[in-house]
Amino acid sequence: MGHIELASGALLDTVDDIHDIEALAGPVGDGARRKDIGRIDHNFARFIERSPFMLLGTASADGRGDVSPRGDLPGFVHVLDERHLAIPERPGNRRMDSIHNILETGRAGLLFLIPGSDDTVRVNGRAAVTRDAALLTSMAVDGRPPALAIVVTVEEAYLHCAKAFRRSRLWDPAARIDRSEIPSAGCMLQEQLALDQPGEQVDAYLEAGYTKTMW
25 to each of 3, 34, 144, 168, 181, how far by Cα in Å?
A: 20, 18, 48, 21, 36
pTM of the shown model: 0.92
pLDDT tens-place string over residues 107-133: 999 999 999 999 999 999 999 999 999
pLDDT in tens, 173-213: 999 999 999 999 999 999 999 999 999 999 999 999 888 88
Superfamily of structural domain 30-167: Electron Transport, Fmn-binding Protein; Chain A (2.30.110.10)
Mean local confidence (pLDDT), 126-147: 97
User: pLDDT digits over 58-92, tens only?
Assistant: 999 999 999 999 999 999 999 999 999 999 999 88
